[in-house]
Structure 1
Amino acid sequence: MTTRLNRQFSRTGPDYRFGDQVCFDEIKTTFGFKTIILGHWVTKNEQHVAANLIYDALADLAQILAIPPKAIGLRNTLNLAFGSRGQKGVQAHYEPDRRTLALAKNAGAGALAHEWWHAFDHYICKHLFEHCSPTDFASSMWLKTSPNISHPLNQKLNHVYKSVLLSENGEQPSNFFTRSMSLDKQLGRLYYSLPEELTARAFECTIAYQKEIENEFLVSDVIHSKLERSGGFPLTGERSDIAQKLICYFQSLGNVLHSQQI
């Protein structure tokens, strides 16, 4: 049987591995994951192929965001599952109760950036709000109440959430939010306009459209996709504003983390 791991994924970026084969233990150490879980039906060959693809994708993500690679694991709180904990018809998903980013063995490609944002959005909630439940996402909390933990980085992240979710004057939903609500009406259920999904799509759109590094395993099905044509991603002007604020936040975060040698 041919799996998606057998296909070639388009990538333009630095050669972090210098052509070497990596293993999942190296991924755990390099990117600071708490644990890595491999499914019982993942063969040795699939492990080898997937390890290289995931390593390059996470290294690309850290490079784009200008954060230390170890920061990807969110201070050793994030678990990574590959070929395990899959959900039927789902490429990848994030489980907040288990703090686990799960990639399907044969269908996880292209969803890594989107799901990593979910993990970050969940992790950062307690750093923005004094009172949040273990499963709250910061983006969802942000719409309900103002962040009450003061920090210069939080101010920059506040600008990110505002640019995605609210109009310029901060009094109405953003056009991106409004278009997503229309998509939900067509869909017949609440999904596209969930704050955590809006911010995840804004994040993966930022990653997809930056020009220095391209990685189809990290993010795909954004540019010229059916969802983009339907207004489900930020449009050109919106995208530029959101990207500027997102990259500004992560670069500032990276500067702090590098100074702490994380």
Structure 2
Amino acid sequence: MQLTSFKYKTRKGPDYRHGEQMSFLDIKETFGIGSIRVGKWVNAEEKDLAANLIFDSLADLAYILALPPEAIGLRGNLNLAFGTGGRQGVQAHYAPNQRELALAKNAGAGALAHEFWHAFDHYIAEKAFAIGDRSGPQRSILFASDCWLKNLDHYPHPLNQRLLRIFDATLLINNGQDMHDYVLRSVKADKATGSNYFSQPTEMMARAFEAVVESCSGIENPYLVSGTTKPDSIAVYPDIGHRDVIHAALQAYFHPLGAALSR
């Protein structure tokens, strides 16, 4: 989808900008982003439009998660790239070694929530689990969802217990005794496509997160997330009832985190 088509799309949610034009510097300062790169082929009109779209989307995430806006940048550990080239045919991606969330200029729409979860999943791993300092380049990338699957030791803290419950609510059922049908459907999707993608823990969690953002937040923002309820793709997302359960677990974690950060 062309970026300029978003001039005519309607977002339904709180008005954070009150009609003001945002810049990428505003994004960096408001959300505590580490660094921002903008591609040289992004013209002035596209840059202005993208800045507004990304600002609103990150503000929506802060609102949905009840976090202070500056927390979205993960204490300056999250970097952002827009229209810098990236991987051909990919809407967006998160590069762990650079801790960079990259959005394609014309194909990045709808992927921001998904990629934000990857960034958070990566960032929180060393904060919640006893895996040591992993701030430098890493041969083996560990996400919190990987640590959960491997049953690695976690640091004793009430918030970490709530984080574990997010994974439990998303991937397990029957008091943690069985894999959720969502996991089984993800495995089935991998078998059907001959891939090892849909059933990776961090991918299942990212899809669950974006599905909750689209279905349970009361906000409609197609730049932040889209497509999780389409009939041809819903099989690889949690069903509506499951989204409500995951939403409750996310709220139980992020709301007290936001309250603590706002003190």
User: For this structure pair, what is the TM-score category when the shorter chain's length is used for normalisation?
Assistant: over 0.9
> Aligned residue pairs: how many?
256
Unaligned runs of 5+ in 2: none
Q: Give, in whole Å, the separation in 2 of the partners of 1:239 and 1:31.
A: 27
Cα contact 1:9–1:215 (8 A) shared by 2? no
Q: Give, in whole Å, the separation in 1 of the partners of 2:113 and 2:231.
A: 16
2:151 to 135, 142, 145: 145
Alignment of 1:112-191 (within 5 A): 112-131=112-131, 134=138, 135-191=141-197
Matched with 1:70 is: 70
Q: Give, in whole Å, the separation in 2 of the partners of 1:85 and 1:256.
A: 38
The structural deviation recorded for 1:10 is 2.9
SS in 1 for 2:55: helix
> Which residue identity lines up with residue 82 of structure 2 in the other structure?
F
SS in 2 for 1:80: strand
Segments of 4+ moved more than 6 angstroms: none
Matched with 1:92 is: 92
Q: Give, in whole Å, the separation in 2 of the partners of 1:125 and 1:58.
A: 22
Matched with 1:255 is: 259
The structural deviation recorded for 1:85 is 4.4
Cα contact 2:13–2:219 (8 A) shared by 1? yes
> Which residue identity lines up with residue 69 of structure 2 in the other structure?
P
Matched, 1:235 2:234: no
SS in 2 for 1:186: helix
> Which residue identity lines up with residue 202 of structure 1 in the other structure?
A
2:206 to 200, 206, 222: 200
Cα contact 2:64–2:217 (8 A) shared by 1? no
The structural deviation recorded for 1:238 is 1.4
Question: Per-residue displacement from partner, 1:50-75 (whole Å, max 9, x unpaired)?
Answer: 00010011101100110011111000
Q: Give, in whole Å, the separation in 1 of the partners of 2:239 and 2:22.
A: 38
Cα contact 1:5–1:46 (8 A) shared by 2? yes
Cα contact 1:166–1:174 (8 A) shared by 2? yes
Identity %: 49
The structural deviation recorded for 1:210 is 2.0
Q: Give, in whole Å, the separation in 1 of the partners of 2:152 and 2:241.
A: 26
Give the TM-score normalised by structure 1: 0.94
> Which residue identity lines up with residue 199 of structure 2 in the other structure?
S
| C-alpha RMSD of matched pairs (Å) | 1.4
SS in 2 for 1:248: helix
Question: Per-residue displacement from partner, 1:91-142 (whole Å, max 9, x unpaired)?
Answer: 0000001100000001101000000000000000001111165421110111
The structural deviation recorded for 1:211 is 4.6
